[in-house]
Amino acid sequence: MSEILISNISAPPNIKAQLNALSKDIKFIREITKGGNGYLFFGENRILKNEVAVKFYYWGGDAKYHAEPSTLAAIEAPNILQVKNAGLLDGEWAYFVTPRCPNGDLDDVLEKTEHGNLQAVERTSQILSGVTHLHQRRYLHRDLKPSNIYVGEDGRSIIGDFGSIKYIPEDLNSIPASSHAVLYRPPESINANSYGFEGDIYQCGIILYQLLGGYLPYEEMAWLNKTEKIEHDRKTSRAEKSIFIDTCIQDKIKRGKILDISSLPAWVPNNLKRTIRKATHVDPTKRYLSASAFHTHLNNIKSKIPDWSVVGGQPTLRGTTSFRICNDDGVFYVQKSKKGGDWRRDNSIVGDSISEIVKKIEAKI
């Protein structure tokens, strides 16, 4: 691919100057506009020919909370994107260089595939493993969401985008919150501008909810009820409309109404629903005590989670005898397969809804 012209990009002059300096070793190919937290560029190392990502982020100039690039670069964990190079530009901007993940992020995956119960648990466990490594070094990510979780070549989940990461001093339990990604902000970040280890746990709970198929629209207007939409339309400027929407979403977060557990597929078991509720509790003291404790809990309940997934558009439960729910013009019926054999209709299981049929299938195993 051809090299981009740095003078034509939308970044501030000091970032352009740093890009010019880095271009000695990196051939910059593309500027990425997805997301609004900083500036992201993809490139290729001129000598090694490996793909890299360079992220410029606003660090705020407060050294007390800043994550030292050298410390981040020293973290080697399978579920954390490795920092290859990093630096400070001035009192506002910093950057880091990481490998590029060509398989995209979890948002890309969620658009293309539906995760089964155990696959969602495994992905969340991988994320929690990475979060545990960060927390052991007293780092808070503060911006955990699908677009910041990358997919490795082997399919594993890798935490990236360290633009919001902060160090939490030993004598503190929380630090000022990040204002990014309002949907994922924990209630305490809105009520008290406070963010601690519990905030990252909250965000991991939301990711688990999304992986399991929970409804969390990115379209802002989807969060407004009829009355709020009327009030929104009365606003005259784009800024007023945006502030109003954010206020409505924040109100739902503070009341614990951002997640609709009833929107989860019928085959998501109650133990996973309880897990999500605990991880995303409005009261941070009632969440899991640590990312490690959350991870351990998922491991402990894994054997009790039915292995439902969507295969070819059909809810399928895998096992020695596998079952799948078929839909013929609104009429549901069940097929089963023994030891990987042909699928045959099972007329002993009937029901008027997927939820009813799921319960009857699970009663047989």
Residue 279, pLDDT score? 99
Beta strands in the chain (DSSP E): 26-32, 39-45, 51-58, 85-88, 93-99, 139-140, 149-151, 157-159, 166-167, 175-176, 194-195, 308-311, 314-317, 321-328, 331-338, 344-345
Domain range summary for the chain, segments of one domain joined by +: 13-99, 104-216+258-304, 308-363
Residue 36, pLDDT score? 61
Residue 85, pLDDT score? 86
Farthest-apart Cα atoms in the chain, separation: 71
| Count of beta carbons in the 10 Å neighbourhood of residue 128 | 32
In angstroms, the CA 314 to CA 324 distance is: 6
Please give the class, per CATH, of domain 104-216+258-304: mainly alpha
Residue 206, pLDDT score? 99
User: What's the CATH number for 13-99?
Assistant: 3.30.200.20
Two tokens, residue 21:
């300096």
Q: What is the DSSP string of 35-79?
A: SSSSEEEEEEETTT--EEEEEEEE-TT-TTTB--HHHHHH---TT
Residue 67, pLDDT score? 63
pTM over 0.75, yes/no: yes
Q: What is the pLDDT along the chain (365 residues), one digit of tens a residue?
A: 688 888 888 888 899 999 999 999 999 999 887 656 688 999 999 999 899 999 888 776 665 565 666 777 788 899 999 998 888 887 678 888 999 988 989 999 999 888 999 999 999 999 999 999 999 999 999 999 999 999 998 999 999 988 788 889 999 999 888 777 799 999 999 999 999 999 999 999 999 999 999 999 999 999 999 999 999 999 999 999 999 999 999 999 999 999 999 999 999 999 999 999 999 999 999 999 999 999 999 999 999 999 999 999 999 999 999 999 999 988 999 999 999 899 999 999 999 999 999 999 999 88
